[in-house]
Each structure stands twice: as structure tokens, then as C-alpha cells.
Amino acid sequence: MYVAGCDVGSLSAKAVIMKDGEIVASQVINSKPDPNESAQAVMEKALQKANLTLDDIAYCVSTGYGRESVPFAKSAYSEIVCHGKGANWKMPSVRMVVDIGGQDAKAIRIDDKGNIAQYAYNDRCASGTGRFIEVMASAMDVPLEKMGEISAQSTNPISISNQCVVFAETEIVSLINAGKALPDIVAGLHKALANRVAGLARGIKLETDVTMTGGVAKNPGMLAALEEALGVRFVKSELDPQIMGALGAALLAFEHASKVN
């Protein structure tokens, strides 16, 4: 029996197809303006990879901010539930999941079955979400995916004094004009975001093991900064951390499908 999970985020859409507890295909694409289109496009690509059609999927669960716009999903779950499920399935020792998304950040404490014990969430203030790094990368004219690489060359990270995205943007423009080294600025930005997100995690009591999910987890600079801010080493798996939400959705789809049959 094939099941699928589809995670439509603000910046990227993800799909995971599973068969009998194994991942058979996964896909990540950049989001399109219309979440419905994003969902169709990412699922089509994942199905192609698995050599399947939509008819082969017994059950699909959607998640992410566009979860209500996924036409082929039979039910929708919050990202918080899905990230917890996905992380627990792949890394059973994990008790805390930190997810930095394009427009939000979450810290989720889970039990040994992947159920949510407590969570904290920020989507009110862009600072403390992936948008912070995105805005700064664009202000510095650096591709977002290069930020990690650049920060690795830093010898002396600059402390960024403004928290607000708008004020921090002005601050880094002045830092660049003052001739400060780009790697030091980038490393400083990672540190600033890490501290914001660490505050969120501490608010619900930090518990080990911790893992980081979401696209921002692919940025090694951000990962290291967050490890430092939390004082822990993250548990990692060979899976793309960006598909964790879609994976959790697929696992929930399996639970639903099993009940139905």
C-alpha cells in the first residue's frame, strides 16, 4: 500500500511517498504563488520518481501553511504534529525538534512515540524565522544557499545589535560600508537568529536529544550556531531535514489508511 505526505510551505513544497514503512520517493521544489499549484507540481514529480500515479496512493495527508489547498489530500495536520512524527520515526531518541521555516520557527518537545508534549511557536515577528536570513542575504547580495559556506570562513563573528529585521538590515548595510568582512557579518547573523530560536526552545524546557528540521537545517553555519546557542549537539540522520514534515504527514497517512482498511 502506498501513502503520501505533502508539505506546502511558504518557500518550498515537499512530498514523500511511502510503501509499507519505507520511503520510496521524496521531492522538494520551490513554492509557486498558488499553494494548490505547488502541491500538484511537487506530488507529480515525486510520483514520477516512484513510477506511480495518484490513483496508486491509498491515502495522502497534507501539512504546512498551504495544507488546506492540497486537492488530493484526505486530511490535513499541523506542521508541528508532522515534524514530531517524522523526527521520531527516523531518530527515536529525539525528544526535541527545532524547525526554522521560511515564515516561522517552532520548538517541539515530543515523547518516545513522537506525540507532542509541548511546543512554542513564532510567526508574529519575522526576526527569529528563516525570513531573517533571507532578507539579509538579499541585502548583502549573497545567494541564500551560500550563507553557510561563507560563515565558515569567519574568524570573528560580529555581534548584531538589532533584533528587528528592518533595523538589522540597515545595520548590516552600515557594516558592509564600514568594510567589515562578509564572513564575520554572516556568522553574526546566524548567531543572532540562533539566539532568538534558542529562546523559543528554552521557553518550553530544553530536552535531549535534539534535532533540527526544515530547510534552514541545511545551512551548516546556522546548524552550528544553534548548537552553540543551545549547548547541545544535534542528532542527525541521512535524510534531508527539509522533508521531515512531509515524512510525518506520510506516516499519519499510513495510520489513517490502516484504520480504513
Give the DSSP H or E segment for 37. Answer: helix 35-50
CB 78, CB 108: distance < 8 Å: no
CB neighbours (10 Å) of residue 53?
10
CB of 33 to other proteins, least distance (A): 9
Q: Is 106 in the site for other proteins (CB under 8 A)?
A: no
CB of 45 to other proteins, least distance (A): 26
CB of 174 to other proteins, least distance (A): 9
**Closer to other proteins at the Cβ: 172 or 253?**
172
Query: What does the per-residue mask of binding to other proteins show for 114-153, with x meaning CB under 8 A?
Result: ----------xxxx---x---x------------------
CB 56, CB 48: distance < 8 Å: no
Using CB under 8 A, pick the residue from 16, 165, 198, 249 that binds other proteins: 165
Rounded Cα gap, residues 40 and 1, in angstroms:
21
Rounded Cα gap, residues 2 and 134, in angstroms:
36
CB of 222 to other proteins, least distance (A): 18
Using CB under 8 A, pick the residue from 92, 118, 145, 164 that binds other proteins: 164
Peptide bond into 209 cis (omega under 30): yes
Give the DSSP H or E segment for 197. Answer: helix 182-203
Q: Note the residues at the interface with other proteins (CB under 8 A).
A: 103, 124-127, 131, 135, 163-167
